[in-house]
Amino acid sequence: MTSRINTILIIGATSGIGEALVRRFHSLGKKVIATGRRKDRLDALAQELQDLDTRQFDIADLTCLAPNVDSILKDYPRLDTVMINAGVQRSYSMLDPSTSDPEVIINEINTNLTGPSLLVRLFIPHLLELAKAGDKTNLFVTTSSLAYVPLPFYPTYCPSKAGVHTLAKVLRQELSFGPKEAKNLNIVEIIPPYVDTGLDDAHRDHVTNLQGGPEKAFPAMPLKEYMDKVFETLEQLDQDGSFKREIGVGLGKVVEETWRGSFEKVLEQMGVTS
């Protein structure tokens, strides 16, 4: 892991999983650039963690993505790892329009799927160019076990995360048809289970009640336990020095293995590597 990552950009790094990733990579001596919308949190992190760099931008503001990526690549021409982790989750019912707002739904799709797709398009040429020159490069995307196993409480979150999960597979397929040096670029899908962060603060109690109360509701994994498992998997490089294609933990591991045990075989029969 250590040699595959030197300079890492973590998009969506001001709280929860992203902030924990920043802290771990920083403690390993990596050059870390953290982003998010909340400037106060970026400033607090930069003050605490020596040499941490930050960039404030909103990935749902689609017109700002290209100038931000240009500026980042100008300042960090050796950037070898991009982690697209930002995400939001809303809970409402598609059956009752009074529980949702079209602007909020559009923002959720833009944050979780459109923004990440455009960011992939903007960063891939840079990562591929370094890869062709022989450097190891990495693109991580954070999806969710809910990308594979949808729940009714999240009618936009689940499909938007399913979209990013599919995008990760398509990217790997495209790279498999590319030049042989494209192997130096790893596409890694991070598939968290339900983890205890602020992601669902606004609706946690409501969803817990819908599941029949705290005794019956699906429990959240403590953040530290989750991060320990992520870094355990990051250390398990394949024989050729690549990261595992998925970093699934808990239910995330179950869905990863189920996909590989079923749909991967269908694609292999078509001659497609995912």
- The nearest distance, CB 61 to ligand NAP, in angstroms, is 7
Per CB under 6 A, does 69 bind ligand NAP? no
DSSP states of 64-102 as a string?
GHHHHHHHHHHH-TT--EEEE---------TT-GGG--H
- The nearest distance, CB 203 to ligand NAP, in angstroms, is 12
Residues 38-57 that bind ligand NAP (CB under 6 A): 38, 41
Name, in order, each residue with C-beta under 8 angstroms of 30's C-beta and a sequence gap of 6 or more: 5, 6, 7, 8
Per CB under 6 A, does 195 bind ligand NAP? yes
Q: Give the residue with the Cβ less far from ligand NAP, 36 or 155.
A: 36
- The nearest distance, CB 93 to ligand NAP, in angstroms, is 20
Q: Give the residue with the Cβ less far from ligand NAP, 38 or 206.
A: 38
Looking at the DSSP bridge assignments, the partners of residue 147 are none
Q: How many residues does the chain have?
A: 274
Per CB under 6 A, does 213 bind ligand NAP? no
Sign of CA dihedral 169, 170, 173, 178: negative
Per CB under 6 A, does 17 bind ligand NAP? yes
Q: Which amino acid is at 200?
A: D
Candidates 8, 16, 31, 123; binder of ligand NAP (CB under 6 A) is 16
Residues 111-150 that bind ligand NAP (CB under 6 A): 111, 142, 144
**# binding residues, ligand NAP (CB under 6 A):** 28
Residues 20-39 that bind ligand NAP (CB under 6 A): 36-38
Name, in order, each residue with C-beta under 8 angstroms of 104's C-beta and a sequence gap of 6 or more: 90
Q: What angle do CA 222, 3, 81 make, to 5 degrees?
A: 65
CA 190, distance to chain mean position in Å, is 6
Q: Give the residue with the Cβ less far from ligand NAP, 107 or 184.
A: 107
Report which of 89, 87, 88, 59 is spatially closest to residue 72, judged by C-alpha positions: 59
x-marked contacts with ligand NAP along 83-112 as a string, rule CB under 6 A = --xxxxx---------------------x-
Rg (CA), the chain: 18
Task: State the residues that interact with ligand NAP by CB under 6 A.
Answer: 12-18, 36-38, 41, 58-60, 85-89, 111, 142, 144, 192, 194-195, 197-199
